[in-house]
């Protein structure tokens, strides 16, 4: 029988299909994202036929559904289990994404070893590295390799066959971008291959009652490589980030059907692998230099964890018509908002100054409660007056210059007291019913009041060329 095929075109961003090539996708409106691929019409191992060959399941009333299979299987890595919600769930699919060289394979191999120590069987399929490379990494990490079974292939049919024969508890595929389906003629990494392979492996894992873990790369803009629909196909999406030249790594929960989605795990890359950090606040502030301008401490929340992070600002006179605004670790649009408020309500001359913001440690802050720390760091750098070293802050800034309420003020104050800060600035509208004897709680209502308190005791004077009064109304 002759092999029949059909040529289609698919958007690499949204997955929209068309029968002809177009320069602009009609769905997501992105340019130059439509790619050609070929579909084999003689499907013998496709997901559709896999499902068709499976017996039809009988209807079950919701109250009769057993949840024993949905129990979490802990990996033994505390920070990893915190983010995933206690461990992997049998029959689920988890996607671990990150930049090349960030530590995805290292973390997965450590998780595989921890699970294998409990007596569970782990299947590790790799299409990126040779088995010798993985064995060398395991030796460096001190992993024996018992009950970890390796297969060096990216063919999903072969992986599914090994999954059925060996009956593992956990299946790790490194990475999804290197897998191929035999019924598709397109190369590995294309939209059609990624989507078909992920769907096929998910069905097989569910049928074999195994937890499937996929490793995936990210693009230059930080999004997960492949179609957006891939994130909808899996049950959990974890993203590991950080500066590859620095030791700290952050593991974020982007999506999780069985646990929280706002948790963060902090690791440090060492010779023995990725080691969890139980006190991230100390790690973020380990290299903090006190009594220097342009630095402020923000108390933020990441899931159930409160963190103290240092936010740095550098304000310099600009030689360009349009001053630069650089934000590393914070949203650039949020930075523009804060700059506009400071210029309007504090009369700070920022229109002719370059402004650079950095969050130390490589952490990405999305919480608006970091607004006040950013504003203090900017004012401190502009005036060359350090923020009081014993002050930690948390507050969202409104367009009228007011400080808006923040959630869980008690936990932020407790974290500031635990780290030894004498003063904690929170908005006057924030709810706080607890008693804090070891820290003074200051409640400013505007950003101007907060700046006056945080900078007025500084010994360094205002720059002569900047005439800004903050000590009186």
- The model's pLDDT over 158-215, given as tens digits with 9 standing for 90+, comes to 999 999 999 999 999 998 989 999 888 888 888 888 888 999 999 999 999 999 999 9
Q: Which of 229, 257, 278 is the last residue of a domain?
A: 278
Q: Quick one: 383 and 429 in the same domain?
A: yes
Q: Quick one: 315 and 173 in the same domain?
A: no
DSSP helix/strand/coil, 139 = helix
Q: How confident is the model at residue 458, as a pLDDT?
A: 44
DSSP helix/strand/coil, 337 = helix
Q: How confident is the model at residue 128, as a pLDDT?
A: 86
- The model's pLDDT over 250-283, given as tens digits with 9 standing for 90+, comes to 999 989 998 888 889 999 999 889 999 989 999 8
Measure CA of the first residue to CA of the last residue in the chain; give whole Å. Answer: 88
What CATH number does residue 447 fall under?
3.30.230.10
Q: Quick one: 87 and 38 in the same domain?
A: no
The total domain count for the chain is: 3
pLDDT(470) > 80: no
Q: How confident is the model at residue 193, as a pLDDT?
A: 87
Query: Is residue 181 one of the residues assigned to a domain?
Result: yes
What CA–CA distance (Å, rounded) separates 136 from 462? 58
Query: Is residue 421 one of the residues assigned to a domain?
Result: yes
- The model's pLDDT over 331-361, given as tens digits with 9 standing for 90+, comes to 999 999 999 999 999 999 999 999 999 999 8
- The model's pLDDT over 374-389, given as tens digits with 9 standing for 90+, comes to 999 999 999 999 999 9
Residue 435 to residues 175, 410, 412, 432: CA-CA distances in angstroms? 50, 9, 13, 9
Segment 135-164 shows an average pLDDT of 92
What pTM value is reported for the model? 0.78
Q: How confident is the model at residue 56, as a pLDDT?
A: 59
Bridge partners (DSSP) listed for residue 334: none
Query: Is residue 472 one of the residues assigned to a domain?
Result: no
Q: Quick one: 100 and 174 in the same domain?
A: yes
Q: How confident is the model at residue 461, as a pLDDT?
A: 39
Query: Is residue 212 one of the residues assigned to a domain?
Result: yes
| pLDDT category of residue 472 using cuts at 50, 70 and 90 | very low
Phi/psi zone of residue 317: left (φ > 0), alpha (ψ -120 to 50 degrees), beta? beta
Query: Is residue 66 one of the residues assigned to a domain?
Result: no
Q: Quick one: 112 and 261 in the same domain?
A: yes
Q: Quick one: 103 and 217 in the same domain?
A: yes
What CA–CA distance (Å, rounded) separates 109 from 128? 14
Query: Is residue 321 one of the residues assigned to a domain?
Result: yes
What CA–CA distance (Å, rounded) separates 388 from 412? 18
Tokens of 18: 């068309």
Q: Quick one: 11 and 143 in the same domain?
A: no
Q: Which of 99, 81, 77, 97 is nearest to 89 (CA)?
A: 81
Residue 48 to residues 27, 158, 185, 214, 413: CA-CA distances in angstroms? 25, 18, 17, 21, 55
Q: How confident is the model at residue 471, as a pLDDT?
A: 43
Q: Quick one: 85 and 2 in the same domain?
A: no
Q: Quick one: 266 and 315 in the same domain?
A: no
Q: Quick one: 243 and 185 in the same domain?
A: yes
Q: Quick one: 251 and 297 in the same domain?
A: no
In terms of residue numbers, what domain contains 319? Answer: 288-455
Query: Is residue 236 one of the residues assigned to a domain?
Result: yes
Q: Quick one: 140 and 203 in the same domain?
A: yes
What CATH number does residue 168 fall under?
3.40.50.300
93-98/211-217 β-pairing: parallel
- Average pLDDT, rounded, for the chain: 85
Query: Is residue 6 one of the residues assigned to a domain?
Result: yes
- The model's pLDDT over 30-89, given as tens digits with 9 standing for 90+, comes to 888 787 777 665 554 444 444 445 455 678 787 777 665 557 788 889 999 999 988 999
């Amino acid at each position: 029988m002759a092999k029949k095929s059909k040529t289609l075109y698919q958007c690499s961003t949204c997955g929209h299909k068309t029968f002809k090539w177009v320069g602009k996708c009609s769905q997501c409106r992105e340019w130059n994202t439509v790619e050609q691929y070929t579909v084999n019409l003689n499907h013998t191992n496709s997901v559709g036929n896999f499902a068709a060959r499976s017996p039809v399941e009988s209807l079950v009333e919701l109250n009769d559904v057993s949840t024993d299979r949905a129990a979490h299987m802990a990996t033994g890595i505390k920070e990893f289990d915190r983010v995933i919600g206690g461990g992997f769930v049998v029959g689920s699919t988890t996607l671990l994404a990150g930049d090349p060289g960030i530590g995805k394979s290292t973390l997965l191999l450590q998780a595989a070893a921890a699970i294998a120590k409990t007596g569970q069987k782990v299947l590790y399929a790799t299409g990126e590295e040779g088995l010798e490379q993985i064995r060398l990494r395991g030796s460096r990490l001190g992993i024996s390799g018992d009950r970890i079974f390796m297969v060096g292939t990216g063919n999903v049919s072969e992986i599914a066959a090994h999954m059925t024969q060996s009956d593992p508890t956990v299946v790790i595929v490194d990475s999804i971008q290197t897998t191929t389906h035999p019924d598709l003629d397109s190369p590995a990494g294309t939209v059609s291959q990624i989507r078909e392979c992920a769907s096929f492996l998910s069905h097989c894992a569910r049928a074999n009652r195994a937890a499937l873990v996929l490793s995936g790369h990210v693009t230059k803009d930080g999004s997960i490589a492949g179609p957006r629909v891939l994130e909808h196909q899996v049950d959990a999406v974890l993203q590991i980030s950080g500066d590859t030249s620095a030791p700290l790594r952050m593991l974020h929960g982007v999506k999780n059907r069985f646990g929280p989605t706002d948790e963060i795990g902090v690791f440090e890359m060492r010779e023995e692998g990725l080691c969890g950090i139980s006190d991230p606040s100390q790690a973020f502030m380990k290299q903090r230099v006190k009594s220097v301008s342009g630095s402020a401490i923000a108390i933020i929340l990441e899931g159930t964890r409160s963190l103290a992070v240092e936010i740095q600002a550098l304000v310099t006179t600009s030689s360009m018509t349009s001053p630069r605004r650089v934000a590393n670790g914070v949203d650039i649009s949020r930075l523009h908002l804060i700059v506009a408020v400071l210029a309007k309500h504090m009369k700070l001359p920022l229109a002719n100054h370059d402004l650079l913001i950095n969050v130390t440690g490589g952490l990405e802050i999305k919480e608006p409660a970091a607004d006040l720390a950013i504003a203090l760091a900017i004012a401190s750098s502009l005036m060359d007056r350090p923020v009081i070293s014993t002050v930690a802050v948390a507050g969202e800034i409104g367009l009228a210059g007011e400080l808006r309420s923040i959630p869980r003020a008690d936990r932020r104050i407790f974290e500031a007291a635990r780290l030894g800060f004498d003063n904690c600035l929170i908005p006057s509208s924030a709810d706080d019913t607890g008693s804090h004897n070891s820290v003074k709680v200051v409640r400013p209502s505007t950003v101007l009041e907060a700046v006056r308190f945080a900078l007025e005791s500084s010994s360094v004077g205002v720059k002569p060329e900047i005439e800004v009064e903050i000590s009186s109304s």
